[in-house]
Structure 1
Amino acid sequence: MKAGDTSLEPPQSVINAPTKSRILVVDDHPAFRFGLRELISDMAMAEVCGEAEDAATALAAFRELKPDLVLLDISLPGRDGIELTKMMKAEAPRTPILIVSMHDEAFYGLRALRAGACGYLRKDDSLDQLEDAIEHALRQDYYLSPRLKRHLIQQFLQNNGQPQESYTLQGLSDREMEVFHWLGKGLGTRQIADRLGLSVKTIETHRAHIKTKLSLESAEDMVKLAREWKLLGEKPANRMAAGRN
């Protein structure tokens, strides 16, 4: 530094420090977001750049922050994670989105991939799996949990490589599955319409299609099945929320 020059130059180590990948965390459970922050803070090449607890806030943060990766739950106030994935990928096709959900991958795994996600994990998967998935996603690579791989292979073999056409939950469209999800949460038609920003008539149409596809005799049977599915498919997931031990 020349005499009289009061400018400060950053240390060489700071100049050469690698840029960390910026991750947006979207989940409506504060404890789980905390667990993700703790996990990511231990990663040398990544950091949390923002958080969101609902679909509208997530989309606004996505547009403002332009993250390198989005960790996204499915069950969110407003639009669900599948619809949100489609919207984000439409705006930024090269931004990887990794779904981390309590839902069984047998119901949502393939839907998430078709929507544009680069991977799908359950919240009760190990922390090592999640860290591995994040590293894959940041490399623009796909990550499938062992369970999802087995499920996709079995589905492929059972259908001789053809798309599944049977009237099971897999036969529901993404929007019908979203309505089914909120039925399982105990919401009525008008409440679902308000939450999804759709008309009551549109929700009634989706309900009718669901009832037909699932070969159910009444609306009561449909609601009962949706609630049973929620109880079976959503189990408490505390491993990630607890952070590393």
Structure 2
Amino acid sequence: MSYKVIIIDDHPLFSRGLAQLIETQREYNVIGIAKDRNEALTFLNNETPDLSIVDLNLGQEDGLELIKDIVVIHPKSNILVISMHDERFYAERALKAGAKGYIMKEEAESHVIDAIKTVTKGEIYLSDNERNRLKEISEDVKSGLEHPDAISTLSDRQLQIFTLIGKGLGTVEIAKKLNLSIKTIDTHKENIKAKLHCSSSAELRQMAIEWTNKAV
């Protein structure tokens, strides 16, 4: 049996290297490479891959939203995230969006192949550290304990805006990029400030900058 794979990543050198690695496995065939959401959706409207490999950082686009798109178009297609973003901050969100696995780009090639084979079978792939971390959080929740990571309380949209703040974008730029009104962005920012216990926009911006540098 041959599994069809599409790679969605905005770094051509990485995509080509990953494609070569995948095709060392006889049962896998890379049928397409896309560098952004539009290319990916165009391809996915014409092909049905068994596995979609997605990076979360697609230039100015959000990989989490693309995962949700893929789930709608091909509900039975498995999705693996391979990203430079720290798994502590994004793995759980990727799974909730519809991915079956998450692995960081810094992992060894053998781990990448393991992740691909696991997800292709429809099983969940996470590193041992992340699996244990999520287990601890689950146990804390069951025990009624509040988990200390305030970032985890942000919605996907709020995290997206928080990340853009950390990258230096202002309210107007964020509104234009996300095709939302300035008022909507301001409302999200106020809600983010409340969740993160920031007393001012300057404090929020500084926290966002520090967090964004740490998350990648």
Q: TM-score, length-normalised on structure 2?
A: 0.92
The residue number in structure 2 matching 1:210 is 192
Higher relative contact order (Cα pairs below 8 Å, separated by 6+ residues): 1
Segments of structure 2 that go 5 or more residues without pairing to the other structure are none
In structure 2, how many angstroms separate the alpha carbons of the residues matched to 1:72 and 1:163?
33
The residue number in structure 1 matching 2:175 is 193
Is the 2:140–2:147 contact (alpha carbons within 8 Å) kept by the matching residues of 1?
Answer: no
Deviation, 1:166, is: 5.8
The residue number in structure 1 matching 2:13 is 31
In structure 1, how many angstroms separate the alpha carbons of the residues matched to 2:13 and 2:211?
24
In structure 1, how many angstroms separate the alpha carbons of the residues matched to 2:13 and 2:205?
30
Matched, 1:136 2:118: yes
Percent identity between matched residues is: 37
In structure 2, how many angstroms separate the alpha carbons of the residues matched to 1:196 and 1:49?
30
In structure 1, how many angstroms separate the alpha carbons of the residues matched to 2:192 and 2:201?
10
Deviation, 1:197, is: 2.3
In structure 1, how many angstroms separate the alpha carbons of the residues matched to 2:37 and 2:195?
28
Corresponding residue SS for 1:141 = coil
Corresponding residue SS for 2:209 = helix
The residue number in structure 1 matching 2:96 is 114
Equivalent of 2:56 in 58, 61, 74: 74
Alpha-carbon spacing, 1:205–1:77, altered in 2? closer, same or farther (3 Å)? farther
| Counterparts of residues 3-14 of structure 1 (less than 5 Å) | none
Corresponding residue SS for 1:144 = coil
Stretch deviating more after TM superposition (218-227 or 164-173): 164-173
Residues 70-115 of structure 1, C-alpha deviations (whole Å, 9 max, x = no match): 1001112354111111121122211111111111111111111111
Segments of structure 1 that go 5 or more residues without pairing to the other structure are 1-17, 235-245
Q: Max radius of gyration: which structure?
A: 1
Q: How many residues align?
A: 216
| Counterparts of residues 164-183 of structure 1 (less than 5 Å) | 168-183=150-165
Corresponding residue SS for 1:186 = coil
Equivalent of 1:145 in 116, 122, 127: 127
The residue number in structure 2 matching 1:3 is none
In structure 2, how many angstroms separate the alpha carbons of the residues matched to 1:229 and 1:70?
28
Is the 2:83–2:104 contact (alpha carbons within 8 Å) kept by the matching residues of 1?
Answer: yes
Alpha-carbon spacing, 1:162–1:142, altered in 2? closer, same or farther (3 Å)? farther
- The runs of at least 4 aligned residues of structure 1 exceeding 4 Å deviation read 161-167
Q: Relative to total residues, which structure has the larger helix share, 1 or 2? A: 2
Is the 1:74–1:80 contact (alpha carbons within 8 Å) kept by the matching residues of 2?
Answer: yes
Matched, 1:154 2:160: no
Alpha-carbon spacing, 1:165–1:154, altered in 2? closer, same or farther (3 Å)? closer
In structure 2, how many angstroms separate the alpha carbons of the residues matched to 1:205 and 1:60?
34
The residue number in structure 1 matching 2:106 is 124
Stretch deviating more after TM superposition (190-199 or 153-162): 153-162
The residue number in structure 2 matching 1:22 is 4
Alpha-carbon spacing, 1:195–1:61, altered in 2? closer, same or farther (3 Å)? farther
Matched, 1:104 2:86: yes
Q: Aligned Cα RMSD in Å?
A: 1.9
The residue identity in structure 2 corresponding to 1:38 is Q
The residue identity in structure 2 corresponding to 1:109 is A
